[in-house]
Chain A
């Protein structure tokens, strides 16, 4: 089993965020987590992320982009720990050719290859989001955890990026607010309401009405 939570609860500032969660996710699954905002999706992802941190590429909601760096270096940051201090120092002065080639290939897939030299602070919200996704890709990990990784993209771009995410990773757990995307691209849907799992079923067995219930 890839992830396993047994009767797991989580409080933040004495407020119960997750309440008695039991969850198992196997290798190769693509799981969408849906529910109202503030329902505990990010907390659940954080809990999962702590289980296999070495194998996970985690794209958090706040993107964690460094405003003073250009896009290339923001993506390169994904493998900072692998390259060592000297290589990192030289890379900031002159991009490492091998890393640049890899980053360029990823950037092309996400249609941001023309922005590699630009400072991330000057990009649109959607472009910044794709830089954060690209950083996760660059880490080349088998598991992708994403917290609203396509929320700022238009519908066509969101579908393209989501497809690439799912293609590149063996297992995916992604929090989404777009119910159509959840039903169309994922094998399994987990619905959260008031900190509890109230829906856990194969996507094929879930209808729009079922999801609607989560938002009432």
Chain B
């Protein structure tokens, strides 16, 4: 009855889901989602044949790629966690919150493109590109974790003198397990990011992966991907917090030495001259004239590149969100049904691992080679990665849900439909909203591969040494992301509240 009552939570969720799919389909009408390749299936066959027969001629080279990928991730994430910890303590100030949201909204690849102008293809570029957005993410997540500490500082008023001591004795011991597990998760993300940084030329596994795919050396690409998956899967076995200092020391010692030298004059010139349009630098103009000229310049940039870029980014995000939803709707029940069959279940779990471990960027790159240049590869890549992650998280919840209750037929479709899904659906939508911001962030960056999202215009501006344009577009991208983040957070809260209400009714 609740479903037809008009204002029930179930109806709201259903309507929202339909809206999500409808907007995705509508976006597809306006976007280019054609297959432009002549023989995609044949090409896929050749590619899979190569990927499943991995071979590597230069083992030492592969080892070095993996080592640099790990080193950059390790140093970047370590610096980020220290900075993020400090920022999390200041996160209650709106200005810190805004700066973090803004810096976090700029993708690591964009940071890499930016730092490359200052430090070249060096370790500093790779490490800073990871550190800055990750530090801001740590700040937000750690701040959120503090809010959920069971005992708050205010509850121990007689001890309320030193904030630092409170943090050390009251807050940190309570939330340390969550912080540690988030650090592990972020490290895994760091390794993925570090790999992708290779696509802009940094010496990580992505660099050789791009070359191997472009040259059609799929066996080598297969070996690289296999090594990458093994690396990700093995993290939990060797990443111990107490061993971190040793790992950091090794990573620092063997970092690649860069030939690139940059004087402080160059850095100063980049910030004082390169990133500003020529109209602003014209000394003959007054301040007011400069401002007006800058506004005019910005206006034409917005019309020519900003607005088309924003439109494409949003179209791609909406399609990817709808595709992620649909893929999850198929995957979760399917995986639930095969849970009891160990062989099929093992296959399902491996599939999920590959789906969620492969960075969207790499997936999009490979699909672009297969399907030709359109938005379709990007949509599929985003849907595969995000549905892999969401399905994995939901599956974990299904297991927890069933352990505490009496389930007559675990894994049966009826139980799933009448018990599991009603309990988890609001969480599913809330997770999807959480990923919406990340999907938008990735949609923008996939432009670097040629899809005409904001990233395409930013990358072109960097290639043409038009740093003024690049920076202005980066700011636009970041602001768009901050906006969508706010919206998705609101929706997320709305649906997680519903989840609580639904559960409390049970």
Contact = CB atoms under 8 A, between A and B. Distances in A.
A69 B172 CA distance: 9
Interface residues of A, number: 21
Contacts of A97: none
A53 interface: yes
Interface stretch (A33-41, A82-90, A172-180, A187-195): A82-90
Interface of A is mostly: helix
Contacts of B155: 64
Interface stretch (B31-39, B86-94, B138-146, B162-170): B162-170
Given A80-B159, A81-B159, A85-B164, A69 B169 contact: yes
B162 A66 contact: no
A134 B343 CA distance: 55
B165 A80 contact: yes
B23 interface: no
Contacts of A76: 169
B176 interface: yes
Interface in B159-201: 159-162, 164-166, 168-170, 172-174, 176-177
A53 B168 contact: no
Interface in A55-85: 56, 58, 64, 66-69, 73, 76-78, 80-81, 83-85
Contacts of A80: 159, 161-162, 165-166, 169
B173 A66 contact: yes
Contact of B169 (A73, A84, A139): A73
B174 A67 contact: yes
Given A68-B173, A77-B169, A80-B169, A88 B162 contact: yes
A56 to B, nearest CB: 8
A123 interface: no
Nearest to B156: A64
Interface residues of B, number: 21
Nearest to A84: B162
Contacts of B170: 66, 77
Contacts of A139: 158
Which of B158, B161, B170 counts the most chain A CB atoms within 10 A?
Answer: B158
Contact of A88 (B150, B157, B165, B176): B165
Nearest to A58: B158
Nearest to A73: B169
B373 to A, nearest CB: 53
A202 interface: no
A204 interface: no
A81 B158 contact: yes
A80 B153 CA distance: 12
Q: Secondary structure at chain B's binding surface: helix, strand, loop or mixed?
A: helix
Contacts of B177: 68
Interface string B304-338: 00000000000000000000000000000000000
A164 to B, nearest CB: 21
Nearest to A77: B169
Contacts of B285: none
A66 B170 CA distance: 6
A92 interface: yes
A123 to B, nearest CB: 15
Contacts of A69: 169, 173
Contact of A81 (B160, B172, B176): B160
B151 A64 contact: yes
Contacts of B165: 80-81, 83-85, 88-89
Interface string A25-57: 000000000000000000000000000010010
Of the listed residues B150, B159, B170, the one surrounded by the most CB atoms of chain A closer than 10 A to its CB is: B159
A169 to B, nearest CB: 15
Contacts of B169: 66, 69, 73, 76-77, 80, 88, 92
Given A53-B157, A92-B168, A67 B173 contact: yes
B174 A68 contact: yes
A81 B173 contact: no
Contacts of A81: 158-162, 165
Q: Which of A56, A77, A80 has the most CB of B within 10 A?
A: A80
A56 B168 CA distance: 24
A64 B159 CA distance: 12
A85 B161 CA distance: 10
B160 A89 contact: no
Contacts of A58: 158
A50 to B, nearest CB: 9
B154 to A, nearest CB: 11
In order of increasing CB-CB distance, the 10 nearest A-B pairs are: A68-B173, A81-B161, A88-B165, A85-B164, A69-B173, A80-B159, A66-B173, A80-B165, A85-B162, A81-B159
Given A66-B173, A68-B176, A80-B166, 20 more contacts: A56-B158, A58-B158, A64-B151, A66-B151, A66-B170, A67-B174, A68-B177, A69-B173, A77-B170, A80-B159, A80-B161, A80-B169, A81-B158, A81-B162, A81-B165, A83-B165, A84-B162, A85-B162, A85-B165, A88-B165
8 contacts: A53-B157, A66-B169, A68-B177, A69-B173, A77-B156, A80-B166, A81-B165, A88-B162
